A and B are shown apart, each in its own frame.
Chain A
Amino acid sequence: MRRFFLIAVPYMWLLALFMVPFIIVFKISLSDTALAIPPYTPTLDFAAGWQGFKSFLSELDWENYVFLTEDDLYWKAYISSFKIALTSTILTLLVGYPIAYGMARAPHEWRATLLMLVILPFWTSFLIRVYSWMGILSQEGYLNQFLMSFGLISEPLIILNTNIAVYIGIVYTYLPFMILPIYSALEKMDESLLEAAEDLGCSRFTAFWLVTIPLSKQGIIAGSFLVFIPALGEFVIPSLLGGSKTLMIGKVLWEEFFSNRDWPVASAVAVILLLILVIPIILFQRNEQKQREAEG
């Protein structure tokens, strides 16, 4: 009984914060637009009872999903978001891993301070931090002023309003989410394993490659998911730092919702985005589980 309650808590959480919103969005994705409040039809009328519910169901259809396949904008936006999210995840890993490694190898008494420093940026608003990047990256911005004053460049670099600025923004914003899981994996590592590897003839580099990396695998995976998933649906960073050419599904969703007032199509786009995210994660976890079972 106690066990049941223990499991029930996270499941209730999942139900209230994930399943219920998802069902609402899914329901809207099957309806049609209307000039009304709210701007779609049919809406569920609880007073009409069972009959009302049945006629409500009969008015739902898959039209909006069919529509998404008819215009290449949508899959292009999905693919482009996927590329941007994947590239920035790899970049974040490349930047984050050495930081996490350095932290885990730092003297014990420094670690708490270093950890604090990683979390510190969260104390200012995310929006303000992204805005300040606009000040740094713009044509008259600090970066260009700095580079030009040292004569490193003669013409200002155009970074703001390009995909490069989006990568910078995502890597900067999500870096702590990459560092923390890797750090916690590396910190637990037994350093005598490295000594053993070197004793057995490994160079320092091969020891790192064959021992440290595999032992921090869980951290790398967790960190990559934590960066990749929000980056895929990111809206704020591409709309502030990216140019009009930056095509991301978050922006397409915005246009459907705000410019077209087409909540049903916007919901269909969101449902597909969710499926794209959830299915690979489930497959991945299955695979992991199988591997663990095979090892055990």
Chain B
Amino acid sequence: MKNTFLTLTMTAALTAMAASAEEVRVYNWSDYIDEDLLSKFEEETGIKLIYDVFDSNEVLETKMLAGGSGYDVVVPSGTFLQRQITAGAFQKLDLAQLSNHGNMWDVIEARTEQYDPENAYSINYMWGTTGLGVNTGKVAEALGDDAPIGSLELVFNPANMEKLANCGVHFLDAPAEMIPAALAYLGEDPNSHDKEVIAKAEAVLTAIRPYVLKFHSSEYINALANGDICVAFGWSGDILQARDRAWEAENGVEIAYNAPSEGALMWFDQMAIPADAPNPKAAHIFLNYIMDADNAAAASNYVYYANGNKASQPMLVEDVIGDPAIYPDEKTLENLYTTTPYDTKIQRVVTRLWTKIKSGT
């Protein structure tokens, strides 16, 4: 009897140890989650969460294609996801382990299917648009009260940019988003994979190049919030986070986000499980946790991005669900475009063009 008891205690102790040793490694975009959600996950599941961040799809993709990244959950954007699925970087989701899958929003799923057929490999985490963040006070000072803050004219018309250069303009360092924007400004197909059409973006971007202070994909959040720059071409939620930080700091900086009227890129960040994930089971538990309606709502309420979770919508604060910059109305939605991945040859043309624009060489 005593022996049995001892064995039982030991087994229990060992199981407890195994459970506490279990961990899940998540690789997500920087400034992209409410940190409370991370500690809550550990409390609820007893799984240790290791959370790392990146700020460019390219960095993530290189890790995925090198293999053996050691991550269980990663968050590529749609076009990158599609290419990495082709390369065999991800494993199919096991829906039996995802009880919250019914919470997902069919409208978004229909759109992400072009990257991930039948959404077999990924779930949507957040989606948003790429557009114009402005420091309203400084821009009005430079361009007057009727400044075109909702139009690509603001950043692609050299006359405007010349006046804005003094207060600082940042662009995303993401050719796959900036070149389509330049094409949209010209009235061309932003998703063009035609060399000749892509080349037309060069003239637009070269003309305004001297007035761009920096090409960077995360610094603009702080720079906008601190009033160091007056315009950023960036991601919707990042700019709204900058608005919030400025508001909290009470530094008098007022920030507004607008999806350009000529058309704005709509993108989707998808959570997926690498083919060689060390702990796919814990990865599914994490995905299921994120798909919980309350958790998805908490994430969106914090980062100011729309999510692909229909059930979370009643829990979203008015600031998020009621803001057309985050959840666009029907009319804006029509104005949004999506892009598809470039093949290797066109990718080289695009990167080369981007280097040429940035460095003048």
Contacts and interface: CB of A to CB of B under 8 A. Distances in A.
Contacts of A38: 65-67
B358 interface: yes
A72 to B, nearest CB: 7
Given A36-B88, A37-B88, A38-B67, A255 B355 contact: yes
B97 interface: no
A245 interface: yes
Contacts of A258: 56, 58-59, 61-62
B212 interface: yes
Interface string B339-361: 00000100110011011101111
A247 B359 contact: yes
Interface string A251-265: 010010111111000
A36 B65 CA distance: 7
Nearest to B226: A140
Interface in B60-78: 61-62, 64-67
A162 to B, nearest CB: 11
B62 A257 contact: yes
Contacts of A140: 226, 228
Interface in A34-80: 35-39, 71-73, 76-77
Contacts of B352: 71, 73
B213 A262 contact: no
B228 A73 contact: no
B4 interface: no
Contacts of B348: 260, 262
A284 to B, nearest CB: 30
Nearest to A246: B359
A113 interface: no
B162 to A, nearest CB: 16
The B interface is mostly helix, strand or loop, or mixed, namely helix
B151 to A, nearest CB: 24
B228 A261 contact: no
Interface string B76-112: 0000000100111100000000000000000000000
Nearest to A35: B87
A260 B353 CA distance: 12
Interface in A231-270: 243-247, 252, 255, 257-262
Given A37-B65, A247-B361, A261 B355 contact: no
B302 interface: no
A259 B351 contact: yes
Contacts, number: 74
Given A138-B228, A258-B56, A261-B65, A73 B355 contact: yes
B215 interface: yes
A262 B228 CA distance: 36
Contact of B65 (A39, A71, A259): A39
Interface size class of B (residues with CB under 8 A): 35 or more
A33 interface: yes
A199 B359 CA distance: 57
Given A73-B352, A255-B355, A37 B66 contact: yes
Nearest to B174: A259
Contacts of B328: none
A141 to B, nearest CB: 10
B59 A77 contact: no
Contacts of A77: 361
A37 B84 CA distance: 9
B48 interface: no
Contacts of A39: 65, 87
A38 B68 CA distance: 10
A161 interface: yes
A184 interface: no
A244 B214 contact: yes
Nearest to B360: A245
B175 interface: yes
Nearest to B61: A261
Interface in A112-159: 138-140
A25 to B, nearest CB: 14
Contacts of B360: 245
A39 B84 CA distance: 10
Contacts of A246: 359
A262 B352 CA distance: 12
B136 to A, nearest CB: 19
B213 A161 contact: yes
B344 A262 contact: yes
A40 to B, nearest CB: 9
Given A35-B87, A36-B88, A72-B361, A261 B347 contact: yes
20 contacts: A35-B83, A35-B344, A36-B87, A37-B67, A37-B88, A37-B89, A76-B361, A140-B226, A161-B214, A244-B214, A245-B358, A245-B359, A246-B359, A255-B351, A257-B62, A259-B58, A260-B344, A260-B351, A261-B62, A262-B344
Interface of A: 33, 35-39, 71-73, 76-77, 138-140, 161, 243-247, 252, 255, 257-262
